[in-house]
Amino acid sequence: ELELVDRQSYLLETLDKAGPEGVVFQKLFEGARVLAVVVTFLALLELIRRNLVVARQSANFTEIRIAKAVKDE
């Protein structure tokens, strides 16, 4: 059983390891079954909504990169 909170933790850990460049959006879903894709996507949307993660695309039709948000202190 996949829990949304567990997928959020997985995403944050993955993005921590990836550093400031983040990861390519598609890489987050490689080899995943349908349920895992859905839960991961919902977890990602929630992290973006909470401003913990950002999605960047340099131009139309280019790859989307996902990275941890940088907090201003």
Predicted pLDDT at 44: 97
Task: Tell me if 65 sits within 8 A of 57, measured CB to CB.
Answer: yes
Predicted pLDDT at 73: 58
Give pTM, 2 decimals. 0.88
| Assigned token pair, 12 | 């944050």
10 Å CB burial of residue 1 (0-12, 13-18, 19+) is exposed
Task: Tell me if 40 sits within 8 A of 28, measured CB to CB.
Answer: yes
pLDDT by 10s per residue, the chain, length 73:
779 999 999 999 999 999 999 999 999 999 999 999 999 999 999 999 999 999 999 999 999 999 999 876 5
Q: From CA 64, how far away is CA 73, in angstroms rounded?
A: 27
User: Dihedral of CA 72/39/32/60: which sign?
Assistant: negative
Predicted pLDDT at 22: 95
